Structure 1
């Protein structure tokens, strides 16, 4: 893959990048020549040391580091949500042909599908769509409408079937060592404790806009004339499946309170892979 020119962003969006230290340079990366490694091999990186280097880096530098380190084993994920255009534009300016993984649950609003098509064409995305092998109709026949039960166990089962399993399969089939995600600290209590580079299961997750806020998002969308999801004009600040998303209320503490009937804040894609750890984090977010 070729790299495009880095984007110049306002300095308040992220801390000014420091020069790349030696252990973050291409020449010393443990995973640059990914094509020479076995498909089932994963690097062991010093998360503490790397995060000390990345914590003050710009979003562009973090993305560039991810590409330099993981090469063609780096993917990104998107939900085509309210602010999805930011990450899609930011990443593909630097890694134009990166595989973009979209988990289609089968329960997305019609507007999400049209928004996805618009951004795919506008940004020339290398879109990789994954779905559960269990159709919505079959899942409902076997388990009922899990989202209507509004208890943590049912919602976790729903997320495992419709989101987590397809994402894990995507990472395996694409032979991903790491994936870029647009998580932000101001979204959930779990995300407040994250670093720019984290490990989830075998894969690493690179989080270039972790320190951004809503103002940063708005400024980026405006600067590059990028669209919000159509539901933004209806008062939504976050959107997923049609049955588990609602507009923002004055009583909401953060944007993720508008999801999952207030029972949970995370959909499961960005939680630890063990059920016990995931449930503990979900419960702490109530």
Structure 2
């Protein structure tokens, strides 16, 4: 008897319907059973450790994709160094081309919308896509949450990304108050994590647009 073939859209719908009531750890466990080339991504923000340890304790060698844009504040760099060493992460770092970094070091980060979008594409999105091309994941774990931006509120635990990647957000329905219980950073320190690829805290850096 032949197995039933589902389209990617059908598969994502089935996953969302079946996993909606599961805890983040259960979602991770079930995805890892079927994933062949899973990865996680992080920018090493103040809540990153909670998400990273949740996944890596299941599969310590999972590739971790990080885009070092060249414009990260020291808080991101320090946290990345700490977590890479603490969890012995299988880190895969992508960076913009040198000429791109030099251009924005010389001219500054643009303010107008059109030029800022180009800046996002060149320093964050293009390196991120290069990382995906190199790693060829079938499942991509991300720490995004539903309440963070208006765009993310229209996603789900599982969503399609590009042609052959399923994005998995185990913490999608979590609230920050829960994660704050698992971070060592004070509110004052958290404010030093300034993402220069975002216009504001509740805007997108560009990588989640599929």
TM surpasses 0.5: yes
Q: Which runs of 4+ in 1 moved over 4 A?
A: 42-45
Please state how far the C-alpha of 1:139 moved relative to its aligned partner: 2.5
In the TM superposition, what is the alpha-carbon distance from 1:122 to its structure 2 partner?
A: 1.1
Residue among 214, 231, 240 paired with 2:176: 214
Q: CA deviation at 1:29?
A: 11
Q: What is the aligned partner in structure 1 of residue 159 from structure 2?
A: 198
Report the Cα distance in structure 1 between the residues aligned to 2:70 and 2:172, rounded to whole angstroms: 28
1:175 aligns with 2:136: yes
List runs of 5+ in structure 2 lacking aligned partners: none
Whether the 8 Å contact between 2:41 and 2:142 is mirrored in structure 1 is yes
2:150 pairs with 1:186: no
Does the Cα contact within 8 Å between 2:67 and 2:127 map onto a contact in 1? yes
What is aligned with 2:75? 111
* TM-score for both structures, normalised by structure 2: 0.87
| Residues 124 and 206, structure 2, Cα contact 8 Å, conserved in 1 | yes
Secondary structure of the corresponding residue to residue 260 of structure 1: coil
Match of residue 75 from structure 1: 39
Q: Give distance in 2, aligned partners of 1:95 and 1:177.
A: 16
Structure 1 residue ranges without an equivalent (≥5): 1-27, 31-41, 245-258, 273-286
Does the CA contact (< 8 Å) of 2:12 and 2:166 recur in 1? no
Find the counterpart in structure 2 of residue 25 from structure 1.
Answer: none
| 2:57 match: secondary structure | helix
Aligned mate of 1:265, from 198, 203, 209: 203
Rounded to whole Å, the distance in 2 between the matches of 1:98 and 1:114 is 22
Superposition deviation, residue 131 in structure 1: 0.6
Residue number in structure 2 paired with 1:227 = 184
CA shift in 2, pair 1:238/1:191, >3 Å: farther
Q: Which deviations, in whole Å up to 9, do the C-alpha atoms of 1:162-199 show, x marking residues without a partner?
A: 11111111111112122100001111111112111101
Aligned residue in 2 for 1:92: 56
1:50 aligned partner: 15
Say which SS state the counterpart of residue 46 (structure 1) adopts: helix
What TM-score, normalized by structure 1, do the two folds share? 0.65
Question: 2:195: which partner in 1?
Answer: 240
CA distance in 2, matches of 1:45, 1:205: 14
Alignment of 1:102 onto 2:41: no
Q: Structure 1 residues 206 and 169, CA, compared in 2 at 3 Å: closer, same or farther?
A: same
Match of 2:93 among 109, 112, 129: 129
CA RMSD of aligned residues (A): 2.6
Structure number with the bigger relative contact order (C-alpha 8 A, sep ≥ 6) is 2
- How many equivalent residue pairs? 206
Match of 1:16 in 2: none
